[in-house]
């Protein structure tokens, strides 16, 4: 699939032309495009309304009108969805090429740059299909998407949207890959491949031997039950000009979570291949940074492991020691995400010394109960940082909601035999307990923890994502966060 962005000087020959318009106004068509008058009159422009018409002349074989709804309700989310609808429809009618033509009126309502970015993201995200593991892949038939925008700054926005959109697809593919094909070593391989694409990136892969030397007893304890060795992936991005700050992202890369000795019930256990979604998001952010410039040194850490039951696996009650010296009672081997993340966070504090740190993890089932699949839970030690993530969520469409983390919650995870316990002792607030545990490893670095257990897969159908597959959540959010922070003085 090739994706192009250009102006609206002329429409080139295309199998399908998609035009977008708000409700209650006859849609303007590009010069030379003709459809029967009835087709134009019958179209009302309600949100998600579509009408496909054979054209009676001009460079487009067929015309798809897509409604954006009432002008006063126009949002970037609607633009994203409409762009995805266009691409999905093109695929369904087996068009080889589609042109998306967005009226300048949409720019006026939402901002030209933002519309360009949202349309590019919607189109790319809507093109996702995961066919590569089937004997005969059905499609994609669509070979070429051209986004045509009225304004120059829209084209700039589309360039950003192309990077984040492609990075989201990259993350989703990692997510959707089955656990036997996306092992810790495969995550490491993916990280190396990203770094190889950019002069400004390096990938360091810390293996189990090096982890032992560093004292990462907690991370190492999780992989003991698996035949696959664990890794700590460390990606570094250096900006063109002098870095203003060091930003560190940490993603849980549990490529399969059976729970270990505290084994999970078998129903839906297959979904635990998605327990590496935080890691996929961090790799996705770096994939986007291959083509985007941000004024920060960005570090990406992905502790990656399997969590399986075995004679060598962690046992409930075992004691492990993390890199920062804290000892941990492993009271539930299924609360393994925090065991691998805590060593990565402590490593960041000690070796990277970031100005700000955000982790993403499919950490708790409790966040799915609290927030469902449409939102990511946010906890941390810095309200300005949480606010910035919530704002990035609103802009990017990857919604973030604050959850509490109080001193008392930190006390709930203090141990009897060791310093800490990896679950609380029955006080409830399961997602907060996970964050509280992690808080003991971040020192005084401003930090936020994003629990993506709900938002990483299983979301409602929003045209550009949804259904049973992964969402790639986190990529668009964190790239937006970086870009917004980059414009701060
Ligand atoms: N990976 C799971 C969390 C999870 C569960 C994500 C369901 C998505 C859907 C995590 O490792 C886990 O098992 N957490 C436990 C923690 C508990 C033992 C304190 C959980 O949520 O049940
Ligand atoms: Zn678990
Ligand atoms: Zn897990």
Strand ranges inside 178-290, DSSP E: 201-206, 231-237, 245-251, 253-257
Q: Which two tokens stand for residue 310?
A: 């075995």
Candidates 338, 462, 476, 485; catalytic one: 338
Ligand 2: distance of its center to the CA of 262 in Å? 9
Ligand 2: distance of its center to the CA of 257 in Å? 6
Please, are residues 424 and 410 in contact by the beta-carbon 8 Å criterion? no
The pLDDT score that the predictor gives to residue 28 is 85
H/E element, 223:
helix 217-223
364 lines ligand 1 (CB under 6 A): yes
Q: What is the DSSP letter of 348?
A: I
Strand partners, 18: 64, 100
Closest CA to 198 of 279, 288, 121, 296: 288
Q: Which two tokens stand for residue 182?
A: 């996306």
Q: Which two tokens stand for residue 460?
A: 């409602």
Strand ranges inside 183-244, DSSP E: 201-206, 231-237
Ligand 1: distance of its center to the CA of 488 in Å? 36
Considering only CA atoms, which residue is closest to atom 3 of ligand 1?
Answer: 364
Report which bound ligand comes closest to the CA of 259. 2
Between CA 425 and CA 428, with CA 427 as vertex, the angle to 5 degrees is 115
Please, are residues 106 and 147 in contact by the beta-carbon 8 Å criterion? no
The pLDDT score that the predictor gives to residue 193 is 98
Atom of ligand 1 nearest to the CA of 367: 21
362 lines ligand 1 (CB under 6 A): yes
Catalytic-residue membership of 351:
no
Atom of ligand 1 nearest to the CA of 262: 18
d(CA 126, CA 147) in angstroms, rounded, equals 14
State the sign of the Cα–Cα–Cα–Cα dihedral 330, 336, 339, 342: negative
Atom of ligand 1 nearest to the CA of 334: 13
332 lines ligand 1 (CB under 6 A): yes
Ligand 2: distance of its center to the CA of 394 in Å? 29
Atom of ligand 1 nearest to the CA of 434: 19
Cis preceding linkage at 140, omega within 30: yes
Report which bound ligand comes closest to the CA of 303. 3
Report which bound ligand comes closest to the CA of 370. 1
The pLDDT score that the predictor gives to residue 137 is 80
Closest CA to 328 of 414, 437, 223, 420: 420
Mutate to test the pocket of ligand 1, among 334, 336, 359, 361 (most ligand atoms within 8 A of CB): 334
The pLDDT score that the predictor gives to residue 11 is 95
Considering only CA atoms, which residue is closest to atom 5 of ligand 1?
Answer: 365
281 lines ligand 1 (CB under 6 A): no
Ligand 1: distance of its center to the CA of 470 in Å? 17
Considering only CA atoms, which residue is closest to atom 18 of ligand 1?
Answer: 335
Please, are residues 13 and 59 in contact by the beta-carbon 8 Å criterion? yes
H/E element, 213:
helix 208-214
336 lines ligand 1 (CB under 6 A): yes
Exposure pattern of 363-395 as b/e (b: 16+ CB <10 Å)?
Answer: bbebbbebbebebbbbbbbbeebbebbbebbeb
Ligand 1: distance of its center to the CA of 19 in Å? 44
Q: Which two tokens stand for residue 360?
A: 């993403």
Report which bound ligand comes closest to the CA of 430. 1
Q: How far apart are the first and last CA of the chain?
A: 39
The pLDDT score that the predictor gives to residue 138 is 81
The pLDDT score that the predictor gives to residue 24 is 84
Q: What is the DSSP letter of 400?
A: E
Catalytic-residue membership of 264:
yes
453 lines ligand 1 (CB under 6 A): yes
H/E element, 480:
helix 475-486
430 lines ligand 1 (CB under 6 A): yes
The pLDDT score that the predictor gives to residue 488 is 81
Candidates 108, 192, 200, 264; catalytic one: 264
151 lines ligand 1 (CB under 6 A): no
Please, are residues 309 and 258 in contact by the beta-carbon 8 Å criterion? yes
The conformational region for residue 57 under phi > 0 = left, psi -120 to 50 = alpha, else beta, is left
Q: Which two tokens stand for residue 21?
A: 């318009």
Domains along the chain with CATH numbers:
2-150 (3.40.220.10), 170-486 (3.40.630.10)
The pLDDT score that the predictor gives to residue 21 is 85
Query: How would you write the pLDDT of the chain (489 residues) with one tens digit per residue?
Result: 899 999 999 998 999 999 998 898 777 899 999 999 998 888 999 999 999 999 998 999 999 999 999 999 999 999 999 999 999 999 999 999 999 999 988 999 999 999 999 999 999 999 999 999 999 988 899 999 999 999 999 999 999 999 999 999 999 999 999 999 999 999 999 999 999 999 999 999 999 999 999 999 999 999 999 999 999 999 999 999 999 999 999 999 999 999 999 999 999 999 999 999 999 999 999 999 999 999 999 999 999 999 999 999 999 999 999 999 999 999 999 999 999 999 999 999 999 999 999 999 999 999 999 999 999 999 999 999 999 999 999 999 999 999 999 999 999 999 999 999 999 999 999 999 999 999 999 999 999 999 999 999 999 999 999 888 999 999 999 999 999 999 986
451 lines ligand 1 (CB under 6 A): no
């Amino acid at each position: 699939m090739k994706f192009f962005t250009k102006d609206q000087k002329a429409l080139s020959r295309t199998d399908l032309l998609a035009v977008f318009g708000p409700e209650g106004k006859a849609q303007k068509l590009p010069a030379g495009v003709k459809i029967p008058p009835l087709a134009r009159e019958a179209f009302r422009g309600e949100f998600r309304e579509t009408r496909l018409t054979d054209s009676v002349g001009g460079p487009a074989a067929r015309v798809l009108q897509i409604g954006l709804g009432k002008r006063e309700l126009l949002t970037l989310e609607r633009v994203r969805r409409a762009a995805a609808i266009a691409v999905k429809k093109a695929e369904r009618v087996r068009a080889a090429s589609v042109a998306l033509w967005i009226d300048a009126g949409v720019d006026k309502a939402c901002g030209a740059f933002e519309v360009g970015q949202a349309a590019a993201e919607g189109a790319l995200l809507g093109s996702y299909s995961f066919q590569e593991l089937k004997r005969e892949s059905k499609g994609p038939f669509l070979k070429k998407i051209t986004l045509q925008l009225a304004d120059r700054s829209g084209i700039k926005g589309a360039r950003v949207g192309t990077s984040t959109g492609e990075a989201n697809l990259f993350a989703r593919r990692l997510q959707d890959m089955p656990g036997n094909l996306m092992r810790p070593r495969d995550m490491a391989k993916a990280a190396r491949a990203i770094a190889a694409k950019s002069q400004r990136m390096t990938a360091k892969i810390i293996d189990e031997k090096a982890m032992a030397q560093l004292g990462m007893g907690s991370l190492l304890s999780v992989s003991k039950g698996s035949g696959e060795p664990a890794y700590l992936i460390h990606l570094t991005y250096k900006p063109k000009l002098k870095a203003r700050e060091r930003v560190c992202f940490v993603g849980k890369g549990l490529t399969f979570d059976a729970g270990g000795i505290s084994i999970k019930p078998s129903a839906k256990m297959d979904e635990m291949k998605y327990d590496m979604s935080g890691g996929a998001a961090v790799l996705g952010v770096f994939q986007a940074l291959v083509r985007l410039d941000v004024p920060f040194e960005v570090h990406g850490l992905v502790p990656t492991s399997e969590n399986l039951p075995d004679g060598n696996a962690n046992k409930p009650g075992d004691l492990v020691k993390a890199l920062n010296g804290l000892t941990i009672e492993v009271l539930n081997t299924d609360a393994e995400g925090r065991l691998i993340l805590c060593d990565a966070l402590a490593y960041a504090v000690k070796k990277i010394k970031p100005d700000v740190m955000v982790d993403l993890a499919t950490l708790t089932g409790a966040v799915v109960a609290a927030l469902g699949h449409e939102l990511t839970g946010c906890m941390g030690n810095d309200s300005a940082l949480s606010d910035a993530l919530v704002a990035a969520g609103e802009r990017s469409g990857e919604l973030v909601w604050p959850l509490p983390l109080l001193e008392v919650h930190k006390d709930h995870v203090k141990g009897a035999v060791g310093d800490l316990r990896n679950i609380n002792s029955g006080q409830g607030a399961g997602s907060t307990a996970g964050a509280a545990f992690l808080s003991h490893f971040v020192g005084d670095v401003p930090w936020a923890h994003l629990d993506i257990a709900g938002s990483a897969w299983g979301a409602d159908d929003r045209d550009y994502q949804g259904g049973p597959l992964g969402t790639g959540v986190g990529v668009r959010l964190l790239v937006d966060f970086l870009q917004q922070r980059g414009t701060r003085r």
